[in-house]
Chains A and B, each alone.
Chain A
């Protein structure tokens, strides 16, 4: 077993055993959909409004997991275990980001069908939307892992993660909501600028994966 697979397996095993993040994320998303349904007083959403409800809700639900991502490392000595071991420390970045992607996929498997039941006339845009969400998940996981590491080293960690992370996620949300707006359009998906938005999401992912890879080693220094 490689260090990467061992660390990823550890995170998934602990989450399955304790259910500290996933139920809270799903509950948050469902509650937000209920609030939107009654707050907007709309039974059906489409286009930019549908994307504007779905994407930010998933993002805020993800913050719950991002805030908890390194709790065990901080409180149970996981950072020291990595520092003492003869492994490239970016392995921890890769494992944490992968775990976050898994959490987000599970969240979306629960939340998106409920969103569709609450608000959508047709499910025809959901399949291509899965590709958008997958690309958004990678970018969110890469950025979230880097910022969560920085926040973990600070005494204001609960405040710091959302304050730094949210501005950095604006381009990601714009691109994901832009793609989602056309896929959830009234009357069915419109693929006019779909490629452009996917390209933007891919570029965002690439940049923040490279930023994480280049900086993570320094972030773990005392």
Chain B
């Protein structure tokens, strides 16, 4: 059985006693006989930006899915935004913005229809949602394609819309798996403020690109 470990990291200035945004102790996740994550410890305060690095198959995406409450840990302790997972996953819902490998977008709906659906699922008032969706699409440069089917968009355009989807409900925690994937430099520049940490919003970014991930990160977590 393969064993994977991660460095113990602590975010934020020493001596401050805040309730951590993320606290992991001896986190483990198995898929049958295969261990994807083992012995992961982490403590991050609200507003911290964490870069998760590691080779392919080191469990980076698995870690993000566990933090989002989408995957149950096999062992260890997981606390996210004060919710012990998996028992209190229901309290976490609506507070996390998750950007995965694949866009969480319906291909046969337009970007606008997808975002309206997500707004309804998050209980955002339709008037407020309409204004926010319009502003987000404008920010990412997708207003002109807002009515086209997602299936007709390029990979980069889908990524822009998916980032809008992840931040639409103004989450307290952003979990981003390769957010720069498929984006050109201009798009990266436009989208950077949308997915930045700060003002109480914690951010975890998974990346293969050590330099890109470390940019703006308070600390890094090495897996594998």
Binding site for B on A (CB under 8 A): 1-3, 5-7, 10, 13-14, 17-18, 72, 76-78, 80-87, 221-222
Contacts and interface: CB of A to CB of B under 8 A. Distances in A.
Interface residues of B, number: 29
Interface string B126-139: 10000000000000
Q: Which 7 A-B pairs have the closest CB atoms?
A: A86-B94, A6-B120, A77-B104, A85-B121, A86-B93, A14-B108, A1-B120
Interface of B: 68-72, 93-96, 98, 100, 102-109, 113, 116-118, 120-123, 126, 149
Contacts of B117: 6-7, 10, 81
Contact of A76 (B70, B104, B120, B123): B104
Contacts of A76: 104-107
Nearest to A221: B72
Nearest to A3: B121
A84 B120 contact: no
B98 A80 contact: yes
A15 to B, nearest CB: 9
A86 B68 CA distance: 13
B100 A77 contact: yes
Given A76-B105, A77-B102, A84-B69, 18 more contacts: A2-B120, A6-B121, A7-B117, A7-B121, A13-B113, A17-B108, A72-B107, A72-B108, A77-B103, A77-B104, A80-B70, A81-B104, A81-B117, A81-B118, A84-B94, A86-B95, A86-B123, A221-B72
- Most-contacted residue by chain A among B71, B103, B109 (CB, 10 A): B109
Contact of B98 (A3, A5, A17, A84): A84
A3 B129 CA distance: 14
Contacts of A17: 108, 149
A10 B105 CA distance: 12
- Most-contacted residue by chain B among A6, A76, A80, A221 (CB, 10 A): A76
A82 B123 CA distance: 12
A87 B121 CA distance: 7
16 contacts: A1-B126, A3-B121, A5-B120, A10-B106, A13-B113, A78-B104, A78-B106, A81-B117, A84-B68, A84-B69, A85-B121, A86-B93, A86-B123, A87-B123, A221-B72, A222-B70
Contacts of B116: 1, 6
- Most-contacted residue by chain B among A2, A17, A84 (CB, 10 A): A84
A145 to B, nearest CB: 18
A219 B116 CA distance: 26
Contact of A77 (B72, B105, B121, B123): B105
B147 to A, nearest CB: 13
- Most-contacted residue by chain A among B96, B104, B120 (CB, 10 A): B120
Contacts of B100: 77, 80
Nearest to A76: B106
Given A77-B104, A83-B93, A3 B123 contact: yes
Contact of A72 (B70, B106, B120, B123): B106
- Most-contacted residue by chain B among A14, A85, A221 (CB, 10 A): A85
Contacts of B106: 10, 14, 72, 76, 78
A84 to B, nearest CB: 6
A132 B158 CA distance: 45
B109 A10 contact: yes
- Most-contacted residue by chain A among B104, B106, B126 (CB, 10 A): B106
A86 B100 CA distance: 19
Nearest to A88: B90
A77 B103 CA distance: 7
